[in-house]
């Protein structure tokens, strides 16, 4: 730090921390930011809904999918464009030129110590600042994905422009009569990346314990083979992606005297695992508050809709394959504004409740019983 007390110290330069540091500096605040690799390009393939891009320039869009599909027993075309972000362009759109950037990895005590030199300290070190442990017991989304040329991926897409969630069960073992009883559901996320390649990712939305990545890789292989994709696509892809998202973020309060932002706090959507669009939006509003001299008690205060989203997570964790397919057929039939409320970290109580009630009502009786049990049990 170049000496003297600063306005804001941001620890962690992922989407949450970088967008906040950049927004605070743009508002004339003195900002210091700390990350072990501050210049590193983010590696995850981030997707958001186009209507969530807000003030970001169009250059941040790597690929635009006008009508992604959800498939369960039925096919649902969503009339809401989805975009994959270009991480280099996104980072460029969140400049750190006026931020005092320091390469370092800080533990909790070192983060707490920043309160002596900064008016506000924001912990944006992500969900697991000490690194992921293989035996992490928290509910998590896991996925295994491959990037392959578009012509290789074509049979997997089955004429869809993009598959946001394809819950059909052609990942099952190919033994005749093999069922899905006792197995956790997973879906195919198949997203063209705009450069002649496609990401094909087998994803378990949420499970306790998390579904092992090796199992997801085996499912992806079987699913793609069943659709006529050469299995070598999985073994020798252009690129691989492994996902592990703790659904409840850090899952413990921030270090005393600091704010937690992004998945270090409660910035993630507990059902979808998404947090990027919300973090980018929240960073701008938080920077406005800090520039006005206001410091909130929490970056993401507990909202009434959070109890419903938590119930939604319980449903996802407990529903079996049939129940999950019925649930997402229900989602596919929702009007667009309720689909948005269910998927958004910012959906309000009335809309989230209406979305969940509508999904429940559309399920068959057996599914309703299962969903009520999954949701209501502690
Ligand atoms: C592969 C993958 C794909 C995903 N895809 C999507 C998606 O499509 N859409 C979506 O909305 N969400 C997605 N997510 C979920 C979630 O939004 C991301 O995890 C997102 O990166 C969270 O942003 P964040 O800034 O809160 O935390 P992080 O991105 O985890 O950033 C934390 C930062 O803190 C730094 N840091 C860590 N420890 C320390 C330390 N001790 N000291 C200092 N700095 C530290 C890290 O270097 C990192 O820069 C995905 C997650 C993964 C893993």
Tokens of 262: 């992004």
What pLDDT is stored for residue 288 in this prediction?
Answer: 98
d(CA 241, ligand 1 centre) in Å: 14
Question: Residues near 248 by Cβ (< 8 Å), separated by ≥ 6?
Answer: 138, 139, 268, 270
- Residue pair 263/194 in contact (Cβ under 8 Å)? The answer is no
Other residues' Cβ atoms within 10 Å of the Cβ of residue 38: 18
Ligand 1 contact via 21 beta carbon (within 6 Å): no
- Residue pair 192/162 in contact (Cβ under 8 Å)? The answer is yes
What pLDDT is stored for residue 1 in this prediction?
Answer: 44
- Residue pair 344/269 in contact (Cβ under 8 Å)? The answer is yes
d(CA 126, ligand 1 centre) in Å: 5
d(CA 29, ligand 1 centre) in Å: 24
- The whole-angstrom separation of Cα 302 and Cα 306 is 7
What pLDDT is stored for residue 368 in this prediction?
Answer: 87
Ligand 1 contact via 241 beta carbon (within 6 Å): yes
Residue 101's Cβ-count burial label (10 Å; 0-12, 13-18, 19+) is middle
Rounded to a whole number, what is the distance in angstroms from the first to the last CA of the chain? Answer: 47
Q: What is the pLDDT along the chain (378 residues), one digit of tens a residue?
A: 456 899 999 999 999 999 999 999 999 999 999 999 999 999 999 999 999 998 899 999 999 999 999 999 999 999 999 999 999 999 999 999 999 999 999 999 999 999 999 999 999 999 999 999 888 999 999 999 999 999 999 999 999 999 999 999 999 876 555 667 778 999 999 999 999 999 999 999 999 999 999 999 999 999 999 999 998 989 999 999 999 999 999 999 999 999 999 999 999 999 999 999 999 999 999 999 999 999 999 999 999 999 999 999 999 999 999 999 999 999 999 999 999 999 999 889 999 999 999 999 988 888 788 888 888 877
Ligand 1 contact via 128 beta carbon (within 6 Å): no
DSSP for 321-373, written as a single string: HHHHHHHHHHHHHS-HHHHHHHH-TT--HHHHHHHHHHHHHHS-HHHHHHHHH
pLDDT (tens digit, 9 = 90+) per residue, 222-243? 999 999 999 898 999 999 999 9
Ligand 1 contact via 129 beta carbon (within 6 Å): yes
- Residue pair 9/34 in contact (Cβ under 8 Å)? The answer is yes
Query: Which of 11, 12, 162 is the best mutation target for the ligand 1 pocket, counting ligand atoms within 8 Å of the beta carbon and taking the most?
Result: 12
- The whole-angstrom separation of Cα 17 and Cα 127 is 13
What pLDDT is stored for residue 175 in this prediction?
Answer: 56
């Amino acid at each position: 730090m170049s000496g003297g007390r600063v306005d804001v110290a941001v620890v962690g330069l992922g989407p949450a921390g970088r967008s906040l540091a950049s927004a605070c500096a743009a508002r004339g605040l003195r900002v210091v930011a700390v990350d072990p690799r501050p210049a590193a390009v983010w590696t995850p393939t981030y997707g958001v809904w186009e209507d969530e891009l807000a003030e970001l320039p169009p250059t941040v869009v790597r690929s635009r999918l006008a009508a992604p599909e959800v498939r369960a027993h039925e096919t649902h075309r969503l009339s809401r464009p989805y975009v994959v972000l270009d991480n280099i362009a996104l980072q460029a759109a969140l400049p750190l030129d006026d931020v005092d950037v320091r390469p370092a990895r800080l533990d909790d005590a070192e983060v707490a110590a920043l309160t002596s030199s900064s008016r506000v300290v924001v912990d944006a070190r992500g969900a697991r600042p000490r690194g992921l442990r293989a035996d992490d017991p928290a509910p998590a989304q896991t996925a295994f994905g491959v990037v392959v040329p578009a012509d290789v991926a074509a049979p997997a897409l089955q004429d869809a422009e993009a598959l946001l969630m394809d819950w059909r069960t052609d990942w099952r073992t190919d033994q005749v009569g093999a069922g899905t009883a006792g197995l956790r559901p997973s879906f195919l996320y198949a997203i063209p990346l705009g450069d002649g390649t496609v990401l094909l990712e087998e994803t378990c939305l949420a499970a306790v314990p998390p579904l092992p990545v090796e199992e997801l890789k085996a499912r992806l292989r079987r699913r793609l083979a069943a659709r006529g994709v050469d299995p070598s696509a999985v073994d020798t892809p252009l690129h691989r992606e492994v996902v592990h998202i703790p659904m409840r973020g850090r899952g413990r309060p921030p270090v005393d005297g600091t704010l937690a932002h992004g998945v270090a706090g409660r910035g993630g959507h507990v059902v979808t695992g998404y947090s990027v669009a919300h973090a980018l939006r929240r960073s701008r509003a938080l920077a406005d508050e800090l520039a006005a001299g206001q410091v909130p008690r929490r970056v993401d205060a507990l909202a009434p809709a959070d109890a419903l989203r938590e119930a939604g997570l319980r449903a996802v964790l407990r529903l079996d394959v049939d129940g999950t397919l019925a649930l997402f057929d229900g989602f596919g039939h929702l009007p667009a504004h309720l689909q948005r409320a269910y998927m958004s970290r910012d959906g309000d109580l009335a809309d989230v409740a209406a979305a969940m009630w509508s999904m429940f009502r559309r399920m068959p009786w057996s599914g309703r019983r299962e969903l009520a049990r999954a949701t209501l049990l502690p």
